[in-house]
Amino acid sequence: MAAARRARRPRRPPRPRPRRPARGARPRRPGRHHPHPRRPPRRAEPDMTIPALTRPAASPDPTASPLTLVCLHHAGGNPSAFREWRDALPDGFAVHPVRLPGRDGPVTTPRRHPDLAALVRELDDQLADEVTGRYAVFGHSMGAMLAFWLVQRRMARGGPLPELFLAAAYAAPHLAGSLLGVTSEDAVDALDDVTLAERLRAAGGLPAELLARPQWLRLLLGTVREDLRLCAAHRYVAAPRLPMPVHVFGGRTDPIVSVEQLRGWREHAAGDFGCDILDGGHFLVQEPHAGLLPALRRRLTRALTTPRTVGAPPAPTVPTK
């Protein structure tokens, strides 16, 4: 009897399965036949790779940004130090991180330059095509030395000058004696990797993750050596004062550059000069707690609202070895 009842019981029709929308189709609103709409495709992450030479990660549009901030990094560094600055600076600024010629990646063996003058000449030629509007220049540590002589070259050749000169964690050119205690090219060659790595670590410039990657550490130390040779070979010669406003930043606990050496930049300013001593060390660019970006924003905003004060280029001068 039970078997007969089961035989007479009608079967339920199969429940319709919702059709999947075609790839790329616009998702339909939730409903009876589409209880789970397809999610829109995930947006691709932006490519943060910075091309070789001095190309910025995203070329600034001079018509959209009234002032471009040209940024030069420290010895052994790369333009990624300024990656977050694009969103941190006030409206009206574009960031142009400079990759030194011969640097094809974040950690690589650099191409050796004959001397500082040759490097500055190459930088000037390349930046002439890339930054054609109003600009300011910022240099961190070794980058401040490069920025100073870049401006001096443009003063000598009658080139376009920055409206503002900014430097961080580097002694005034006439007081700069060494980086990491290195005063000559021979002293650089005499440093073994262990000693150099320890000096970098003590200055706060050695990322902890590199200690676990010896191959990467060797590449970084090779880059640092080339930059230290460049700095150690340079000898200051008397140079005209900078006609644009000069502002410098330093860390109160910087073991490499003293406050007196920072304030010595006043001797190289023909007009407006400022110096901010912040709660950080030598690598202010990599220390969010130091407050470099807020101080930089204030100074840049002031530059936009202050009449231009760049004067005519003084007599020529060039850096020497």
How far is residue 196's CA from residue 217's CA, in Å, rounded to a whole number?
Answer: 11
- Which pLDDT value is given to residue 213? 79
Residue 125 confidence class, pLDDT cut points 50, 70, 90:
very high
Each residue of 18-68: pLDDT tens digit?
566 555 555 555 444 444 445 444 433 333 223 333 444 444 454 555 799
Residue 232 confidence class, pLDDT cut points 50, 70, 90:
confident
| Out of 82-96, 179-193, 222-236, least confident range | 179-193
| Out of 52-66, 166-180, 201-215, 281-295, least confident range | 52-66
Structural domain boundaries of the chain?
Answer: 67-177+236-305
How far is residue 26's CA from residue 38's CA, in Å, rounded to a whole number?
Answer: 9
Q: In the predicted model, what is the mean pLDDT of residues 239-266?
A: 96
Q: How many CB atoms lie within 10 A of CB 159?
A: 14
Q: By CB neighbour count within 10 A (0-12 exposed, 13-18 middle, 19+ buried), where does 304 fall?
A: middle
Strands 273-278 and 93-97: unpaired
Q: In the predicted model, what is the mean pLDDT of residues 271-280?
A: 96
Residue 197 confidence class, pLDDT cut points 50, 70, 90:
confident
Please tell me the CATH code under which domain 67-177+236-305 is placed.
3.40.50.1820
Q: Is it the case that residue 279 has pLDDT exceeding 80?
A: yes
Q: Which residue has the higher pLDDT, 146 or 217?
A: 146
| The two three-digit tokens of residue 95, written as one number | 């960031």
| Out of 26-30, 285-289, 293-297, least confident range | 26-30
Q: In the predicted model, what is the mean pLDDT of residues 78-99?
A: 88
How far is residue 67's CA from residue 94's CA, in Å, rounded to a whole number?
Answer: 7
Q: What does pTM read for this prediction?
A: 0.73
- Which pLDDT value is given to residue 52? 32
Residue 62's alpha-carbon distances to 90, 123, 135, 139, in angstroms, are 16, 19, 10, 21
Q: In the predicted model, what is the mean pLDDT of residues 78-104?
A: 84
- Which pLDDT value is given to residue 73? 93
How far is residue 196's CA from residue 53's CA, in Å, rounded to a whole number?
Answer: 26
Q: Which residue has the higher pLDDT, 145 or 201?
A: 145
Q: In the predicted model, what is the mean pLDDT of residues 241-255?
A: 96
- Which pLDDT value is given to residue 171? 93
Say what percent of the chain tops pLDDT 90: 39
- Which pLDDT value is given to residue 56? 42
- Which pLDDT value is given to residue 6? 52
Q: Is it the case that residue 249 has pLDDT exceeding 90?
A: yes
Question: Which residues 6+ apart lie within 8 Å of 290 measured at CB?
Answer: 251, 278, 279, 280, 281, 284
- Which pLDDT value is given to residue 183? 73
- Which pLDDT value is given to residue 64? 52
For the chain, give the mean pLDDT. Answer: 78
| The two three-digit tokens of residue 129, written as one number | 């095509």
Helix/strand/coil (H/E/C) assignment for every residue in the chain: CHHHHHHHCCCCCCCCCCCCCCCCCCCCCCCCCCCCCCCCCCCCCCCCCCCCCCCCCCCCCCCCCCEEEEEECCCCCCHHHHCCHHHHCCCCEEEEECCCCCCCCCCCCCCCCCCHHHHHHHHHHHHHHHCCCCEEEEEECHHHHHHHHHHHHHHHHCCCCCCCEEEECCCCCCCCCCECCECCHHHHHHCCHHHHHHHHHHHCCCCHHHHCCHHHHHHHHHHHHHHHHHHHHCECCCCCCECCCEEEEEECCCCCCCHHHHHHHHHHECCCEEEEEECCCCCHHHCHHHCHHHHHHHHHHHHHHCCCCCCCCCCCCCCEC
